[in-house]
Structure 1
Amino acid sequence: MDLKVDFAFKQLFGKQGNEPILIAFLNATLKLPEHDRITSIEILNSELEPKHLDDKKSVLDIHARTENGARINIEIQLANRYDMEKRTLYYWSRIYSGQLNEGMGYKELAKTITINILNFRFVKPTERYHTTFHLFEDEEKFLLTDVLEIHFMEISKLMVNWRKKALNLHEDLLVRWLLLLEAGENEDIRRELEAIAMQDSVMKKAFAEWEDISRDPRAWSEYESRRKVILDDAAAVREAELRAQEAGEKGALQAAENIARNLLASGMDMETVAQHTGLSKEKVAEMHRNIQ
């Protein structure tokens, strides 16, 4: 199974019994000091029930709570729907506010962390594959509160570094776990991780669980169904992009022709019109004949 498909990802990282795998991934992601590392975690219901009849029902990929009460949401996205910022803040706010029950004080609301694993380029100002966001004051950059923490991990940027041999799987645990998501399609990565798994018991468990899931006919059927939906969705998004591009090109051509007609009507010579509009000399000559 391709672990970037959300069904397979959830089966490996978000299934009861696989908490050690999730803990290892989270400790690698959050880079907590040794004394503050996650040692236990509870995997919660991934459905966020609407509080009002007209609220939207949301289903998270992974929803968990650490031993100190912090809430963590992990989402994996194969295709860019161009809504990641608002989608991320919406999920974060639902989880954060969802902790507040009758009689609770606001001080009891725990830190909420959202982790987005993306199979597309998203954070444009940087080539770093892992970026983290908090609430900081604009000028002096001091932290308002640590209750909001949002991570973006971009697989495409990670793979650029992998191909440049700029990553060290033996020293960087996060790189190790993220490259596991590519191991189903990249034999070199899989071989290197399998060698590491001989010394890393949690990674070894991850490989064993991954193989078990992939051998389960029922799980494979669900995986294929989900994979087809994702591929169809990605194809629809790409088709919309191509149509928009085509419409834009047609619009630009129409605008250039309109400008050319006006310039020709004003007496400008055909060669200059072609230079100014980008139209071919043949097209401008044809338009000139029609005006005459």
Structure 2
Amino acid sequence: MHVWAVLFLSFTIPLFGDNTISSSVPKDYTPTFINVNEELPTRYKSVVEDSLYLQLIMLSSIGALAMMPEDITNWNAAKLEEKSLSQRWKEHVTTTPVWDNDNWAINYIGHPISGAWYYTMGRNDGLSIGESAALSALMSTFVWEYGYEAFAEVPSIQDLIVTPLFGSILGEGMYILEGKLDQKGGEVFGSRALGNVSYFFLDPLGRITDGMKNALLFFRIDLDVTMSIQTYPQFRAIPHHLTGEPTDSILYSDREIGFIITFR
């Protein structure tokens, strides 16, 4: 049994050269399929799997933000309803990032902490400092700012800079604290409970994704989580009486790229 979930909106990439009209599929338009898990080195398996589980956390966060007062999120519900989800997303991601007016605590405390949590998840999955910083930038910029949050607002200049940059610096400090906690046997002031709480706040995303896996294993469900990239052409049929050809033709235009997560 397969359960499919779209990770990002599909988007178009213009092909080089003119569009072609043909009654058969040109070689350049042959659909391709890339299994990201298989293309990456084995040592990235844990972080890829955790990143895919992380999408459920991010989607939950969007739901929580949608229920918050407008004076906190600065999301105008009435204005958002004027356009469809896809229209809003395309408009926001193609607009130059703006300087937002969110509360300073959200921009300069909340976002660096979020970036740090992406970072510590990567470090605990075996990534280097540079790789973990790249993961923080990937998650905060492309998945969050230009992904989920772009359905509601234009990407923020502060968030694009502050979240991955200061998040990575803060995250490395948190990773070091985790190491010191390990040296003390996972105890804080002699308390294992305080140690567990500390572990959670130092790497909540990693702990939550581990919890998801363990919960599924409890019910004897061992999911094979895979991210893949599927490409395929857009096309439309052209009636033969419009082209003068003896049979209908097909007009191929831009190629679509879909990012897909598979749970099996």
TM-score by length of 1: 0.25
**Higher relative contact order, structure no. (Cα contacts within 8 Å, ≥ 6 residues apart):** 2
Which protein is richer in helix relative to its size?
2
TM-score by length of 2: 0.27
Higher Cα Rg, which structure? 1
